[in-house]
Structure 1
Amino acid sequence: MRALGRRPRFPAPLAALLAICVIAGTGVSGRQDPRQEPKPQPEPQQPIPVFRAGTALVRVDVTATVRGDEPVTDLTSDDFEVTEDDVPQIVQTSQFVRIDGERKSDLNEPLEIRSKDHAILEAARDDVRLFAIFLDDYHIDKKPDVTLPLREALTKFVSQFRSNDLIVMMDPLTTLYDLKYTRSKPDLINRIRTFEGRRGEVFPVKSPIEEAQMSQRNWQELRAGVTLSALTALATQMGGLREGRKSILFVSQGPPVRPGSPNDQRLKEALEAANRGNVTIHVLDPRPLGTVAFGGDNVLRQIAGDTGGRAILNTNNPSDQLTAVIADASAYYLVGYTPTRSANDGKFHRIEVKVKRRGVKVTARRGYWAATEKEMTAAAEAAATPVNVGLTTALASLSQSTTNTRAVGIWTGVSRGDGERTRLTFTWEANPAVTGDKPARLEIQPADEAGKPTLDAQVIAGAPGEIPMMARFDLPAGRHRIRFTSLSSAGDIIDRWIQNMTVPAHSTEPIVLSTPRFLRARNMIELRAIEANPAAVPTAATRFRPSDRVLLEIECEAPGLTPAIKVELLNAKGDLLRPLDAPPLADGKLRMTLAVSSLAPSTYVLKITATAGDHAAEQWAAFRIAP
C-alpha cells in the first residue's frame, strides 16, 4: 500500500530512464515549448489505477482467497470494509488485477535481460511479476538439515516462475549497484545449489565490512544491522520501479533485534520502505519443524504481518506456501480510499481490511506511514517545477551509452526525410569494453508493431571498407521497432535485439535541426581526412579524452528562412558555462571545432538553438570528458 503524494526515493537518473525512449539527442521545433512535448506511453496489459483525486488518497493491495488459496475474482468496492486507526473509511475504488507471468504484448522481442537499463524498463511493464529472493546467510545455520531442504524448496520455487517473470537474488553484502534482475532460471538455481548459511561464523571474511566487524564485540548485532539495511535498500529500490505489487522472499532465521536498539529502528525503516513502495515481504525460516518455539521468530512474523506477506515458519514442507507466494503476486485487488483524518502527521496508521462475504480470507498489510506536511510541500514544489525534457533526455542517452553491455555502440540521427517522412540515420562502432567475438557488420531493419518488416534491411560496416558505414531509413511519424543484428566477419550472428523508437513528425515544422553529430579524430591524419570529407561518418562515442580532436556537426532545414544558430556549453545541471563561437550555416550545415582539451573531466551538455523570427528549434547533446 502507498499513500499517494509520497515520492518514491530512488535516484533521479534512474527515474529519467523509465520515462524516456531514447533516440540519441532530442529536438524541439517550431513554437512549441519543449517542456510540453507529449511522451508516448506503453499500452498496459491491464490498467492498474493510480488514484490521484487528492494527495491523501491511500491505496492498498488485498489478497482475497477461499479454501485452497483460490482467488476470489468478483468482489466490488461495496464488498470491502476498511478501517484506519479503528475509524471506518469509505472505499472509493477497487480493481481486480491478474498477472500470469506470460508476455501479453511485444511478443517478438527477446525476453533475455540485456542490461540494467533494460531490466528497469521491463520491471515497469504491467504484465511482469517482480520478485526478489533475499538469502540472509548471516542468520541461517550451516547445517545439513537446514541447508539441503532449503536448497530443494527454493529450487522448486524458482522452477515455477514463468517466462515473463523478473527475479533478483541478493544477500546482505549485495549492493544496489550489483543487483542483477534476470529471467534465467538456471542462473538462479545454480546460485541456490551453492548457498550455505554463515550464522555464527566469522571466517572466511568476504568484504572490508566484515573485516571491520571483527574488531567489535557486538559483531553479531552489526551483522543484523547490515541485513536490515540491505532489506531497506532493496524494498526502496523495488518500490521505485513501478506501481503495483512487488514481492520479496526473505529467507532467514531472524536477525536479532532488541527493543529500543539501533536495529529496532532499522527494522522500522525496512517496514516503512516496504509500505511506501507497495512491497510485500514474505518470510521463510528454513529450520525444520520443532527446532524453534511455537510461532517462530517474532521479528520474522512482524516483517510478514506488517507488509501483508506470508510467514512460512516451523514447517518441513514449505513448498505449498511458496507456491502461494507466486499466486499472491498473480491475483489481487487494488483498493483505494481517502482517510477521514485531515492532517499529514508523518505517523504510522493502522489499517484493517475485511470482506463482507462469508468464507473469504483477506490478507493485507497492517498499515502505512503518512507523509508529513513538510514532505507534502516539498513534493508539491517538485511536481510544479518544470522538467527540462531536452536536458533530461540528453543525459539519459549519455547514461545508456556509457552503461552499454552490447558488442556495438550505435549512433542514431533524426532529420527531415523525403515527403512527409522523417529520416533515421544509423552508424556504429565496436564497444571496447566488451570482450568476446568482435562484430564486423550490423544489419538494421525497421518493423511494425507486430514485428513484420516494413523496409528492406541494410547492412553497414563499423570501419571503412567495401560496404557503407551509414544506414538511412525514411519512416512515417509514430512508433516503430528497429531490429539490430550484429554479425562476425564470417557472417555468424553475435547478437540480435529489438529497440522501440518513437519517430517525431518534422514535415510541417518551419525549422528542423538534425541530431548533433560528433566527428572524432585521434590524430592529425584522421582530422585532416574528416575536414576534407563533407559526409564524414559520426562517431557513436560520447566519451572523449582531452587528446581527441572533436568536431560538432549539425544540419538545419528552414525553407524560406535564414535562421541564426547559437551553441551553448552547459554543465550536467543545465547551468550555462559559456556560449561557443558558432560559424554561420553553409548550405544548411554547421561544422565547428569542440575544444575538448580545454575542458576538465566531467559531463557536459550542448544546447543548440536555431531561431528565425517567431520560429525556433532546439537540439541537446551530452558528452563526457574522461581523465
Structure 2
Amino acid sequence: MNDVLRPAGLLAVVALAFAMGVSRAAAQDPRPTGSSFRAGVDVISVDVQVIDSDGQPVAGLAPDAFEVTVDGRRRRVLSADFVDTRSSAVPAPAADSPVAVSSSVTTAGEAGTTSGSESLAPRRVYVLAVDRSRLDEFTARPILAAVSDFLAQLRSQDEVGVFTYPTGPTLDPTTDRDAVVRVLQTIQAVRELPPPGEFAMSPSNVVEISRRPESALAMNVILTFCATASDQQCPDRVRAQATSEVLFYEGVASAGSATLRALMAALGDVADRKTVVIISGGVVTADIVGARPEGAALFRELGRVAAQSNVTVYALFVDQSWQRQMAAELGRPPVAPDPVRERELTGRVLDQLTDAAGGTVLRISSGDGRPAFDRVLRETSAYYLLGVESTDDDRDGRLRELRVRVRDRRVSVRGRSWLGGPRSATPAPVAASAPRPEEAPPVLPPATPEIRRLAEAFDRDDRAAIVQAFAPSEASRLLRAFREHESPWPASPRRTAAFALDLAMVGVRIDSVYVKEEALRVLGEYLVRVRGESSDDAFECTWLWTASAGTAGLFAPELGTLVAERAAERCPTDASLRLARAVARDQQLMLFQRQGTSSSAATDALSDLEQQVLEAYEAAAELPAARFEARIRAAQLLFRAGRYEDGLTSLDAAGAQPDDHVLRYYASLVRGQLLYALGRFDESAAACRAALDAWPGAQSARVALVSALIGRGRLDEATTIAGNVLSAPPTPDPWWVYFLGDYRAYDDIRSRLGQVAR
C-alpha cells in the first residue's frame, strides 16, 4: 500500500515528479555538453560514482577502466563521461588521490571534456527522508540542525525536498533553503519502542527466542531472564513478550518500507540526478534464518524499486544502541547484549537497501552528523555516465543484476545493483542530447478485482461478505495482494487504514499459521501508519480503539498488550483505551492464574502481577468515563484473588449506575459473587436478582442465584429456578464475553470507525 495517513506531502512529490518529468526533460540535458555516443550503436546509460578512500570523486578514467556485467555476463563500455557538479564550495579532490585527475576522458574513440561549470552541470535533487519513528528528539535535533551546512554547500540550482516517514511534514524539492530549514524544525522525532514489558529485552534476545522458543539457544536466554523468578510461568511470559516485540518490529519495518517505496516510485519520473538521504535509527530484523522479526525482504525489494527509479540512496544510521546499554528507558540492562550484533541487527536492512541503490550507510555514533553530510556531498558531487552495450534481451523491461567494477583496487565504485531495460521491440540509437531513462518509473499495481470486491463490501458495511471471502485457502493470498497493490482508494488513506484493520481482524481469527502471520503484518504496519501528528488524534484513537476491541476478543495477551499499550500511549486521555490497557494486562494475569502456583516465589510473582493490574484499573478509574467499569473489573480481579472485602470496597466506589444495562448487570453479578464468598447469602441473592433485572434471563445470574439460595437453605426455590434454567431456551448472556473487554461492543465501535474514516 503506498498511501500514508498524512498524504499531502507524498502526493505533492508525485505531482512534482510528473511535472518535472515533462518540463525538465525537455528543458535540460543532464549529460555533459560535447560528449556523444557513436551513432547507430544501441547503448544503455549507467551512472556510477568512483571515489577514493576519503569519498573524493576520481576523474580521468577511460571506458576500458570499467568492467560491467549484466546478469553475470560481460558488456562492453563504449563511453565514459565524467560529470562534475562541484562548485567552489566543495573541496577539490586531494592531490594524492590514487588516480590522477584529468581534464578529459576518452569516449569510444572520441574526446569529451569534463563538465565542471556550475552553469552547465546538471541540476541535482536531494530528498532528506527522516525516519521520525526511529529517532529520539534529543539525538535527532542537532542532526537536523546540521543540515544547514549541507545546504550551504549546494549549488544555487540544486533542489532539496523533505520527506518525513511514516508520517510527518513534507516539502517538495525546492531551491528555497530557508523553507527546507523551517520544515526540518517542525519535525518531532518520536522514537517508537516496543510496549513496556516485564523483561528488558534487547533485539538479539527477541531474535534468539523467536526462532525456536524451545531450542537450547532460546532457553538459555529465557532462563537468564527467569533466574530470579523461580516460578514455572516465567518462561511463558518471556515468550509472550518476545512475540509482542516481534510484532512491533515487523510493523515498523513494514510501514517504513511501504512509505519509502512510494517515495522512490514517485521520483522515477524526475529527470534530474536524484539522491535520497535517509536519516534513521535503523530497523530491527533477524540475522538468523527462520527467525523473526522479518522485514529484510521488504527492504531488498525497496532497493530494487529505487534502482528502477534511478535513485541513489544513502543512509545516515543514527546508532542509538548505547541507549540500550544504559537502559535508562527500560529500567535495567537487557540480557547479555553484544553491542556489535545489536548495531548489525538494527542497521542491516539499511545496508541492503543502499547496496542495491548505489549508496552506502554512514554511521553517526555521536555528535551532529556533519562529517556524514559532508561525505554524502563529496561522493555525489561527480559521477561517470557510462554508455554500456545493449542487447535485444534488455528490452523486455525485466530487472537484471548489474555490477560495475574498476580495476584499480584503490578506488570504490558506487552504483545500483539492478538495471531495468527500456521496453521496446526495436533497438534504437541513443544521442547524448536525449537522456534515456533505464525504465519507466515503477508504481504499485492497481488493486486486484478481488480486493476491489472486498472494498465494496467494506463500503456497504457487509462484514459477512468479507468473512465469507476469506476462505482458509485464499486468505493468505488476499492479505498479500492487499499489501502489495495500490489501495482501492489511493486518495483516502483513512479509509484504507480502516479497511486494512477489517481485513487483519478477519485474518487473525482463521486457524492457519500462515494466514495469521499475514494478518499480523497488516495490523503491525498500520499500527505505525495511523500515527497522527500529535497524540489524541481523533481518527488514530478511534482506529486504535477498534483494534484494541478486536484483539481483546482473541484473548491473545501478547497481541492485545501490543495494541493496547500503544493505544494508551498515543491517546492518554481516552478513557476507553486506558481501560483497554488494563483489560489486556488482566488477560495476561488470568493466564497466569489458570496455570496455578507451585512455590512461594510463584505466589509472590502472582501477587506482584495482580497489583500491577489493579494499578492499571485505578489509572483507568481516574477518568470519569471509565470509572464505573474500571471499578467493576478491579472488584472482579479482587474476587479471583480472594480479597472479597476489598472487592466490595471497589464496587462501592464505582458511583452511580450508568444507563448501560450490560455494565449494570456486571456490577450486580460481581457483587453477588463477592457476597456469596463472604457467606452473606441473602445479600448475594438480592444482588443476583438485581442482575436479572438488568438483563432478564441471563444464565450466569440465575446459576449464581441458585447457589446463593442453596447457601441460605432455600432448596425448593433453588430447585425451581434450576429447572427453569435447564428447560429455558438459551439466552445471550453478557457475562460470556466479560473477559473480552470492549469486544462486546466491537460491531458498534467498528461502525464508528467507518464513519470517521469517510
TM-score w.r.t. length of structure 1: 0.43
**What's the TM-score, normalizing by structure 2?**
0.36
More strand per residue: 1
Please say which structure displays the higher CA radius of gyration.
2
Task: Looking at secondary structure, tell me which structure has more helix per residue.
Answer: 2
